[in-house]
Amino acid sequence: MRRTLALAACLCFAVADAPAAAEREVPGWQAYQQGDYAEARKAFEAAAQKGDRVALFNLGMMYWHGEGVTPDKPRAIGLIRRSADLGSPRAQHAMGLLYETGEGVAKSQGEASAWFEKAARQGYTDAQVSIATQYYLGRGVKQDYSAAARWYREAAVAGDVGAQYLLASLYEHGDGVTQDYTEAMHWYDLAAQQGDVAAVFKSREMAQKMRGTP
């Protein structure tokens, strides 16, 4: 699986690996892990010049963090955008986060949603959660609980604990789906098994509701 750097400033960019469709490890990753930023940058630049979308993203991250280079967010964003335009789901999600917060770009929930959905359609779990939330809130897209439920389900099936909890809540209340306590309890249980404390209590609450006890 190819490796990409993670962005973390005022934004919370995901650290998870790219989807299963990811390719080989990008040149320069080993050097980066060893702290040899000069060698990593050189390798990333060489691959980026050949249109390698992962190398473009990684190089962008180095400029974002100022690792082995002078921090340069405009240049970083340009590299991330090129990676996103080449189809990198991680970069597409990153662009969505930038537009969502207005970090280095003109804030636009519409643009954020468009980028989130592109990445979500490639199976990128964090983007699926992001676009689901946009639909749930009606932020940058028309409010649509059914669409929110569909994307939360995609992320929940992939194992995202937050999505599992939120999907359970949708089933509990019948928002965007047919109200179904059994389904709600199923997803609360899965979230609880991953250590979500609130889900533990909600699962017990659902069990009481299903028994008809107070």
Residue 191's domain spans which residues? 144-214
* The pLDDT of residue 71: 95
Give the tokens for residue 33: 């892990």
Identify the CA nearest to 145 among candidates 175, 181, 110: 175
Do 197 and 130 belong to one domain? Answer: no
Examine the domain organization and report whether 122 and 88 are in the same domain: yes
**Which residue's entry shows tokens 């190089």?**
59
pLDDT of residue 96: 97
CA-CA distances (angstroms) from residue 89 to 107, 123, 187?
20, 8, 26
Q: What is the pLDDT of residue 45?
A: 95
Q: Name the strand (E) or helix (H) holding 210.
A: helix 197-211
Same domain, 74 and 1: yes
- One-letter amino acid identity for 2? R
Which pLDDT belongs to residue 212? 74
